[in-house]
Amino acid sequence: MRQRVVRVAVTAVLVALFLLAIPLALAIRSSLYADRRDSLERSALAAAVRVNPDYAAGDPVEMPPPGAGERLGLYDPALRLHAGSGPRSGDAAVRRSLDGVIAHVDSGGELVVAVPVSHDEKVIGVVRASSAVSAVRDDVLVGWAVLLAAAVLALAVGVFVARRQAHALAQPLEELSRHCQAVAAGDLASRAAPSTIAEIDQVARTHNDMLHNLSELLRHERNFTTNASHQLRTPLTGLQLTLEAGLAQDDDRLLRPVLEEALAGTRRLHRTVEEVLRLASAPRPRNQATPHRPVAELLEETDALWHGLFAQDGRRLECSVHDLPADLRVPGAAVAEILGVLLDNARMHGRGSVRVAVRDLEEAVAVDVTDEGVMGEEPARLFARGHTGGAASGTGIGLALARDLAIAVGGRLFLACADPTTFTLLVPVRKERRDMKRPNGDGEMQDGRDGPDR
């Protein structure tokens, strides 16, 4: 911004100088030439007054001393030089002046002024005054040099003022930028300081008001997260303990499966609450470990949980794992929640059979959830929070939550195909390398296992 302000100011000064200096330079030239012609005319008139009408009869002519750089000469009607200095024969200015007019002529590198000498209404001679054009040209160059020096001084003053003004304008904006960087780094208590510029102060006040409202909103959200954590975890823990106690005391074969299923459901609900609260809390450090689980085990649990629900609707659920390493692990809680959202979305908004397929992509794993429906919504709106499509009702939170969970574990969730509807989840994997069986010191075969490899 500083350079831009300086450039604008310098451009304005240059345009002003250009518009003023050129006419002024022409005016200086014209004025100096006019002044020299006036000086020559005054000298010629002063000499013409002193000419005696009887000079042709031999009376001496007393010519006044010429000015600096000037020549004065008296010519008779025959165009001969009678007194003073000048060309021996009268030139065009002298001939024109014999008609009784004052002549101004530029010829032969000289400025010439001829004044007629009259007696009894007759022209009896001509006084010629001349000066070299080079002398006037030197004066013009000196005037132009002074004008150029004034223009350079004006430009220097303009640059100095522009730099000062650029500093005055840019410094508050730079301070506001540093303040915004501090806020972006997490310092929500920082506030922009006032400056001497009203417009920038208005922006700073608006920014401070926005930051205050944002801080209050974040505080309310943190309080809600803390309250929800306390109010949800405690009842769930109590319910789990009650169900576990009931399982330990009740030997009824008919009631026991129901209690076991209810206990498994509360545990899943507890994991869901933990994952949602973790997502809503402050971002975790990147090096913080995330619990990983084998992909095959995760899909078995997903199939056991959702198979019966799809069967009740007369639909089929297939979970297939082809040629996946047994040591392939993914973030268990997050992937389980995302699969739950995608399968619930397929059950509510899709149709036909649903297939969950896992593909190994070396550094990542791709999980495709496909049903036989056709997605008519725009892909950009699918993951918008609060947007729900299809005939079935919904809150419009599921896909948005699933996308946030995928991003939280370094993955990505997107619509891979609209017909048939296919959602693809990409998540990073962790593999545990297992060595081939090798003989130990006693000649027996033993398994060797390396540490986990990200």
CATH number for the domain spanning 24: value is 3.30.450.20
Residue 440, pLDDT above cutoff 50:
no
Q: What would the mean pLDDT of 379-384 be, rounded to a whole number? A: 76
d(CA 143, CA 136) in angstroms, rounded, equals 11
Question: Are residues 238 and 348 located together in one domain of the fold?
Answer: no
Burial class from Cβ neighbours inside 10 Å (0-12, 13-18, 19+) for residue 95 reads middle
Lowest mean pLDDT segment, chosen from 125-134, 166-175, 401-410: 166-175
Q: Residue 108: its pLDDT value, please?
A: 76
- The DSSP output letter for 323 is S
Selection from 383, 389, 382, 398 nearest residue 349 by Cα: 389
Co-location of 32 and 89 in the same domain: yes
Q: Residue 445: inside a domain, yes or no?
A: no
Average pLDDT over residues 417-430: 88
Contact present, 237 and 200 (Cβ < 8 Å): no
Q: Is 276 in the same domain as 404?
A: no
Q: How far is CA 411 from CA 20, 218, 278, 282, in A?
A: 67, 26, 16, 18
- The SS3 of residue 68 is coil
Average per-residue pLDDT for the chain: 80
- Residue 112: pLDDT band (50, 70, 90) is very high
pLDDT digits (tens, 9 = 90+) for 135-153: 889 999 999 999 999 999 9
Statement to judge: residues 22 and 128 lie in one domain:
yes
Q: Taking 80 as the threshold, does the pLDDT of residue 115 lie above it?
A: yes
- Residue 371 — very low, low, confident or very high, per pLDDT cuts 50/70/90? very high
Q: Which of 71-75, 168-172, 440-444 has the highest mean pLDDT?
A: 71-75
Q: Is residue 190 part of a domain?
A: no
Residue 90 DSSP one-character state:
-
DSSP 8-state code for residue 80: B
Residue 108 CA: distances (Å) to CA of 4, 82, 85, 131: 53, 21, 16, 11
* Beta strand pairing call for 449-453 and 430-434: antiparallel
Residues 243 and 138 in one domain: no
How far, in Å, CA of 243 to CA of 257, rounded?
A: 11
Of 30-39, 46-55, 313-322, 434-443, the one with minimum mean pLDDT is 434-443
Report yes or no on 86 lying in a domain: yes
Report helix, strand or coil for 67: coil
Grade residue 391 by pLDDT with cuts at 50, 70 and 90: very low
CATH code of the domain covering residue 381? 3.30.565.10
- Distance separating alpha carbons of residues 276 and 228, to the nearest angstrom: 10
- My answer on whether 357 and 265 are in the same domain is no
Same-domain check for residues 16 and 121: yes
pLDDT (tens digit per residue) in 265-298: 777 777 766 666 665 554 544 444 567 888 888 8
Question: Does 173 map to a domain?
Answer: no
pLDDT tens sequence across 158-180:
888 888 888 887 788 888 888 88
pTM attached to this predicted model: 0.46
Helix axes 198-249, 255-280, angle to 10 degrees: 160
Arithmetic mean of pLDDT, 392-408: 75
The answer as to whether 80 is a domain residue is yes
Q: What is the mean pLDDT of residues 373-400?
A: 69
Q: State which residues form the domain around 258.
A: 198-280
Structural domain includes residue 285 = no
| Structural domains in the chain (count) | 3
CA angle 154, 157, 160 (to 5 degrees): 150
pLDDT band per the 50, 70, 90 thresholds, residue 28 = very high
Q: In which element (H, E) is residue 56 found?
A: none
Domain boundary pick from 113, 144, 175: 144
* Whether 341 and 384 share a structural domain: yes
The verdict on residue 248 lying in a domain is yes
Check residue 383 and give its pLDDT: 80
Mean pLDDT lowest among 64-68, 106-110, 271-275, 422-426: 271-275
Task: Pick the more confident residue, 244 or 127.
Answer: 127
Q: Is the Cβ–Cβ distance between 33 and 141 less than 8 Å?
A: no
What radius of gyration do the chain's Cα atoms show? Answer: 51
CA distance 298 to 151: 82
Position 290, amino acid: T
126 and 44 within one domain:
yes
The predicted-structure confidence for 185-204, as pLDDT tens digits, reads as follows 878 777 888 877 888 888 88
- Is 385 a member of any domain? yes
Q: Are residues 275 and 296 in the same domain?
A: no
Residues 350 and 271 in one domain: no
**For position 287, what pLDDT does the model report?**
40
**Which among 192, 195, 194, 170 has a CA at the least distance from the CA of 181?**
192
Q: At which of 100, 117, 144 does a domain end? A: 144
Q: What angle do CA 73, 76, 79 make, to 5 degrees?
A: 85
User: Do 9 and 95 share a domain, yes or no?
Assistant: yes
Residue 281 pLDDT:
58
